Structure 1
Amino acid sequence: MKQTKNIILVASLMSTLVLTGCASNDELIAQQKNQTEQISALESKVGTLESKVNTLETELQSQKDTDSEIYQTVRKLDAEQNELKAQAQKQVDEAVMYYTIKQDDTLYSIAREQGIALEDLLQLNPQIDNPKRLLIGDVINTK
């Protein structure tokens, strides 16, 4: 009887261990399934983020191309502006080279206005016979 009792006790322990092992396996399977679902969700998020990164990289490259085009256009416009400034300055310089005599002008007042010496103004204009008699509308050299 003692042996039967021991056998029943051993069988009972074995079945408890087996059931415990089964429960543990079920829990492990459930955990693995849960972890697999989490991994799938994370992989999906990573895929979404990679897609967003690719989109942002494409947009960034597009912006760089646009910026490069704008920079080249600005450089071209700057060069054109400098050329126009040079042309304008040349026209101003040429315009300043000549002066049209007006009423009440004297060679002294013209020289002072143009920032040159009276003697230099006379040398630039050898056609002036009488410095005291200027004719309105005559054009003289100032440079």
Structure 2
Amino acid sequence: MSFTMNDNTYDALPDPLTQPAFYDGVGVKRLLAWVVDTVFVGMIAAVIASIPLFLLWFVFPLVFLVVSLIYRIGSIRAFSATPGMRLFNIELRNHEGHRLDGSEAAMHTIGFMIASAFFIPQVASVFLMLMSERGQGLHDMFTGIVAINSPGRY
């Protein structure tokens, strides 16, 4: 599958009405990818917290947050997807239809972290991912980023 690039906002992305395969099942895949990524981050953070004689276990939430930021920004910058997203063949694209660069990866990750820190934005994001035509959460809409099935990989 391919999609055309236009100058209008979101017109450069696959149209959910004419190319629904790009968005088919993405909400569920994002949830599963989030579980996989959270387990990976937790395991990495546990190893890091254990290295200095288990002293970092006293600040484990901070270790988890730092590892999560590095994990998400680094993998999204490199592949436009986290390892969990890659496992489920989804990737993030900006409003022009391109893969994310470093600053877009950082903005998306920070938006995700902020939305995840509060109950109401979290619930609103999940609801929007399930109900909006492009399956975007609050942080996706704010940053102009869309998750799609990886072209040619599904």
Structure 2 length as normaliser, TM-score? Answer: 0.22
The structure whose Rg is larger is 1
Q: Which has the higher helix share?
A: 1
